[in-house]
């Protein structure tokens, strides 16, 4: 635990340095891509626990994200300005921001438990449809709430808090905050995956009846997976709202839920490494295809390439880029023949 704590401190320092480098040397457009990648990674790594480890096909991640986004954004506006009115943007204070993040994570996790519990009896496609329905209902309910701006949503959401020495950074401190949570979710998920609970989740996926007869409470494990994934989706939502400074219910349509599932399937369902790589690819691909599209004057090209890529993937590597493997020294050793052989037993 102490070691984990030190690792996390080191990673936070790394995030600070990363943000500094981006603010000083990299164009704002590319910084934006990097930040969007970070948000996608948080979503995908969280969903991987539900869809990858526990093997429950959830298509409702945007729903959890929206709950966190609106809870966090509303609380942040109230804590920073006291009213919902337009005016100049301010920075959130460190305390209120952390409080809002906790609130968004916990509210999304509570919804995760509420959705997880009744849908436990559903499997496969039925679960997918039920979770998709949940996300859509959440969006419609949010749209109907005047207190949080109805269809136009919340605006003037404060900027993420300043850090010491970061006063002159152009793009602000978003990268630090986003990547701090990228590091946190990866670290915690790695720990989870390698623990007795991670194995229990995989047992539920592999053979639910055998898991139950071996004493694994499948229902409890599934709810746990939903709570965990939803918690980080809520965090991602809160970060997203603060990053964009505005948030609408329509930011969280079914398309976004599907996008996160595509990230997992592309990277390899059940692989944390795959989730990270899939998140980066799915986020960046449209950004890089768009200039090509404009250059060739073929609008819609990016969608065609995107679809073709997924089709090819399903045909030739249905288990995703990484399968269920993780990027590790062992895998590197296998990919690079001869390397590290002397260290083997």
Partner 1 sequence: MSALLQAEQLTMRFGGLTAVKEFSCAIESGELFGLIGPNGAGKTTVFNLLTGVYRPSSGTVTFAQSDITGQPPPVIAARGMSRTFQNIRLFDELSALENVMAGAHLRGHINLFDALLRTGRNAREEKRQRDWAYKLLAFMGLEERAGLAAKHLPYGDRRKLEIARALATEPKLICLDEPAAGMNPSEKQGLAQLIRRIRDQLHVTVLLIEHDMQLVMGLCERIQVLDHGETIACGKPREIQSDARVIEAYLGVADA
Interface with partner 1 (CB under 8 A) = 1, 3-4, 188, 191-192, 195-200, 202-203, 206-207, 209-218, 224, 270, 324
> Is the Cβ of residue 34 or residue 50 nearer to partner 1 in the bound state?
50
> Is the Cβ of residue 49 or residue 236 nearer to partner 1 in the bound state?
49
> Is the Cβ of residue 90 or residue 191 nearer to partner 1 in the bound state?
191
Structure tokens at 266: 């592309």
Give Cα 214 distance to the centre of its chain. Answer: 32
Smallest distance, partner 1 to C-beta of residue 267, A: 16
> Is the Cβ of residue 73 or residue 183 nearer to partner 1 in the bound state?
183
> Is the Cβ of residue 84 or residue 187 nearer to partner 1 in the bound state?
187
> Is the Cβ of residue 158 or residue 320 nearer to partner 1 in the bound state?
320
Smallest distance, partner 1 to C-beta of residue 264, A: 16
Q: Contact 257/75 with Cβ under 8 angstroms?
A: no
Smallest distance, partner 1 to C-beta of residue 210, A: 4
Structure tokens at 212: 């139950």
Smallest distance, partner 1 to C-beta of residue 311, A: 26
Smallest distance, partner 1 to C-beta of residue 198, A: 7
Smallest distance, partner 1 to C-beta of residue 211, A: 7
- C-alpha radius of gyration, the chain, whole number: 21
Smallest distance, partner 1 to C-beta of residue 177, A: 21
Give Cα 27 distance to the centre of its chain. Answer: 24
Smallest distance, partner 1 to C-beta of residue 154, A: 31
Structure tokens at 278: 């899939």
Q: Contact 91/162 with Cβ under 8 angstroms?
A: yes
Residue located via tokens 């996160």: 260
Structure tokens at 54: 């526990």
> Is the Cβ of residue 142 or residue 204 nearer to partner 1 in the bound state?
204
Cα dihedral 298, 303, 308, 309, rounded to 10, equals 110
> Is the Cβ of residue 116 or residue 158 nearer to partner 1 in the bound state?
116
Smallest distance, partner 1 to C-beta of residue 3, A: 7
> Is the Cβ of residue 4 or residue 152 nearer to partner 1 in the bound state?
4
Give Cα 90 distance to the centre of its chain. Answer: 26
């Amino acid at each position: 635990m102490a070691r984990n704590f030190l690792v996390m401190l080191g990673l936070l320092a790394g995030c600070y340095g990363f943000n500094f480098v981006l603010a000083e040397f990299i164009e704002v457009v590319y910084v934006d891509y990097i930040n969007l990648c970070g948000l996608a990674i948080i979503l995908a790594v969280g969903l991987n626990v539900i869809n990858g480890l526990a093997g429950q096909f959830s298509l409702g991640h945007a729903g959890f994200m929206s709950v966190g986004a609106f809870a966090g954004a509303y609380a942040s506006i109230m804590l920073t300005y006291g009213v919902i009115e337009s005016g100049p943007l301010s920075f959130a204070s460190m305390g209120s921001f952390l409080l809002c993040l906790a609130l968004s994570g916990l509210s999304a996790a509570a919804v995760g438990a509420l959705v997880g519990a009744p849908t436990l009896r559903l499997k496969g496609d039925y679960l997918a449809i039920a979770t998709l329905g949940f996300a859509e209902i959440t969006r419609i309910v949010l749209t109907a709430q005047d207190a949080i701006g109805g269809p136009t949503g919340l605006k003037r959401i404060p900027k993420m808090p300043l850090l010491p020495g970061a006063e002159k950074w152009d793009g602000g401190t978003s990268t630090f905050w986003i990547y701090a949570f990228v590091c946190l979710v990866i670290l915690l998920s790695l720990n989870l995956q390698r623990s007795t609970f991670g194995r229990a989740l995989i047992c539920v996926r592999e053979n639910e009846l055998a898991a139950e007869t071996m004493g694994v409470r499948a229902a409890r494990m599934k709810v746990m997976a939903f709570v965990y994934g939803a918690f980080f989706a809520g965090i991602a939502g809160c970060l997203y709202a603060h990053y964009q400074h505005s948030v609408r219910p329509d930011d969280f349509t079914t398309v976004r839920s599907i996008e996160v599932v595509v990230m997992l399937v592309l990277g390899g369902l059940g692989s944390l490494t795959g989730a990270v790589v899939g998140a980066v690819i799915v986020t960046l691909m449209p950004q890089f295809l768009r200039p090509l599209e404009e250059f060739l004057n073929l609008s819609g090209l990016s969608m065609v390439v995107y679809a073709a890529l997924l089709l090819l993937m399903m045909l030739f590597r249905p288990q995703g880029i990484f399968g269920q493997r993780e990027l590790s020294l062992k895998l590197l050793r296998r990919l690079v023949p001869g390397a590290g052989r002397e260290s083997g037993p």
